[in-house]
């Protein structure tokens, strides 16, 4: 096992599956202590058990980033541990609809989870990072935050919002040794894209230069790079990992 992240505490939201799970393992397999969050007690327990089975450091915690009370409870649950040095704001949801049909709660749920959740989790971790004069914050945005996508006004607004947040916070905290960056994945093989029909899948491939969907581990690799010392001079950036689907 590598020890790149020995003595580092990494908090990954939405670590029960998909991209978050790949990110959690990427750090744990390099010696970090990973706090992986899930929305249910059962999934949180599964995260803990899987780390133990693989002899990796870390544990699962219940957290709903859309609920202030859940965030406060999570804060209490981790108070005896050292403060996270690295925060990966990964948890996110979609609730697609054309704007004219979009209900208030579809708009609010997505903005509240993806954007307000990131805001609250970042605030929770920032004080410890400021004190330590070191920190890495990596926000998982999306290609559609850059390009837009019909049926996703709520989701793309939230993901574009994450990019503005990333840039502003990078300017606020850079002098404290904290970098803040975003990763904008294209279409990655997870539960989120499993719901796409074969027809949508086929037409997507025509727009992806590498002619395939990405793997969660391919996002985790870039997150790993941004968290490492090799990326110490990168901040306020949004790194696209999309197989050449969008090159702007
Ligand atoms: P997923 O649906 O497989 O996993 C999402 C994770 O977030 C799960 O662990 C889930 O429990 C957690 N989560 C959802 N709502 C939550 C809440 N209120 N509080 C705490 N955790 C919550 O999705 P996937 O594909 O792994 O996505 C991860 C991130 O990557 C998301 O932010 C997503 O928007 C983004 N993304 C995914 C892409 C893809 O093609 N799969 C493309 C671009 C961005």
Question: What is the per-residue pLDDT across 7-56, written as a single tens digit (0 to 9) for each?
Answer: 999 999 999 999 999 999 999 999 999 999 999 999 999 999 999 999 99
- pLDDT beyond 90 at 107: yes
Mean pLDDT of all residues belonging to the chain: 97
pLDDT at 196: 87
184 lines ligand 1 (CB under 6 A): no
- Which stretch of DSSP H or E encloses residue 140? strand 135-140
Question: CB of 23 closer than 6 A to ligand 1?
Answer: no
Looking at residues 208-212, what average pLDDT do you find? 97
Model confidence band, residue 126 (pLDDT cutoffs 50, 70, 90): very high
Which strand (E) or helix (H) includes residue 185? strand 178-185
- Atom 32 in ligand 1: residue holding the nearest Cα: 92
Distance, in Å, from the CA atom of 89 to the CA atom of 224, rounded to the nearest integer, reads 13
Among residues 5, 155, 233, 246, which one is catalytic? Answer: 155
Q: Which of these, 156, 95, 157, 84, lies nearest to 125 by C-alpha position?
A: 84
Distance CA 239, CA 190 (A): 20
- Look up 246 and say whether it is catalytic: no
* Residues 179, 173: Cα–Cα separation, whole Å: 7
CA of 94 to the centre of ligand 1 (A): 8
Which atom of ligand 1 sits closest to the CA of residue 64?
19
Which residue's alpha carbon is nearest to atom 2 within ligand 1? Answer: 192
Burial of 206 (0-12, 13-18, 19+ CB in 10 A): exposed
243 CA to centre of ligand 1 in angstroms: 19
7 CB-contact burial (10 Å; exposed 0-12 / middle 13-18 / buried 19+) = exposed
Residue 198 CB partners (closer than 8 Å, separation 6+)? none
């Amino acid at each position: 096992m590598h020890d790149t992240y020995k003595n580092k505490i990494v908090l990954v939201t939405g670590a029960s599956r998909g991209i978050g799970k790949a990110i959690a393992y990427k750090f744990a397999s390099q010696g970090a202590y990973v706090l992986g969050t899930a929305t249910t007690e059962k999934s949180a327990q599964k995260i803990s058990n899987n780390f133990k089975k693989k002899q990796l450091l870390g544990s699962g915690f219940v957290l709903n980033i859309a609920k202030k009370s859940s965030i406060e409870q999570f804060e209490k649950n981790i108070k005896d541990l050292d403060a996270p040095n690295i925060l990966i704001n990964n948890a996110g949801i979609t609730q697609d609809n054309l704007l004219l049909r979009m209900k208030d709660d579809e708009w609010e749920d997505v903005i509240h989870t993806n954007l307000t959740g990131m805001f609250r989790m970042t605030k929770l971790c920032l004080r410890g990072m400021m004190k330590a004069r070191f920190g890495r914050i990596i926000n998982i945005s999306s290609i559609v935050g850059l390009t837009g996508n019909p049926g996703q006004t709520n989701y793309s607004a939230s993901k574009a919002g994450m990019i503005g947040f990333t840039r502003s916070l990078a300017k606020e905290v850079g002098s404290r040794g904290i970098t803040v960056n975003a990763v904008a994945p294209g279409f990655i093989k997870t539960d989120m894209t499993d719901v796409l029909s074969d027809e949508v899948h086929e037409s997507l491939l025509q727009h992806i230069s590498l002619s395939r969907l990405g793997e969660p581990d391919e996002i985790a690799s870039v997150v790993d790079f941004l968290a490492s010392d090799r990326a110490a001079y990168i901040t306020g950036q949004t790194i696209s990992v999309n197989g050449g689907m969008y090159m702007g």
